[in-house]
Amino acid sequence: MALLVPLTYVYVGYSIYYHGRFGQTLGKLFMGIRIVNRNGEAIGWTKAWLRSSLDVLFTALSVVAQFMALAAIADHDYYNVGWMQRYQNLYALRPAWLSWTDTIIEIWSWSEVIVMLFNRERRALHDFIAGTVVIALPKTQDHAA
């Protein structure tokens, strides 16, 4: 339980911080792409938050459900079993309302991909929410002769 909240902050904060500060995460840097406003300017903090807003909401719901399951599990059902059984025991103790959030998260994830594949600019739903677009950065050329 002690690691759940800090790891969640790292997970959510990483994307928001790097997008807001640099316009790209380390993976985007490696791939040579960046997130910008539709006019090509940096997105800033507001749009970084907007872009991740639904992910933050879904993550918060999952964390609350995980806390509820951890609070409800008996010590022997948590500590005296292997990791797979521990996961199954926790899964069984999740609140009933989480089942619909799992469905919504899955629909959201697939809709992101589908929307991206069927629009000219390859913008995902979170890009439409924030008014952003992902661009390829110019390639640097080595002039070794």
pLDDT, one tens digit per residue, over 29-54 is 999 999 999 999 999 999 999 999 99
- Number of structural domains the chain divides into: 1
> Stretch 61-83: mean pLDDT, rounded?
89
- 77 in any annotated domain: yes
| Share of residues in the chain with pLDDT > 90 (%) | 61
Instruction: Give me the pLDDT at residue 97, please.
Output: 80
Instruction: Give me the pLDDT at residue 47, please.
Output: 97
- 103 in any annotated domain: yes
> Stretch 62-91: mean pLDDT, rounded?
90
| Share of residues in the chain with pLDDT > 70 (%) | 96
- 82 in any annotated domain: yes
Under 8 Å between Cβ of 55 and 15? yes
Judge whether residue 141 has pLDDT over 90.
no
Residue-range definition of the domain harbouring residue 13 = 4-135
Confidence category of residue 23, pLDDT binned at 50, 70, 90: very high
Cβ within 8 Å of residue 84, ≥6 positions away: none
The CA–CA distances, whole Å, from 115 to 28, 79, 109, 112, 118 equal: 20, 43, 10, 5, 5
- 34 in any annotated domain: yes
Confidence category of residue 144, pLDDT binned at 50, 70, 90: low
Instruction: Give me the pLDDT at residue 145, please.
Output: 46
- 112 in any annotated domain: yes
Instruction: Give me the pLDDT at residue 33, please.
Output: 95
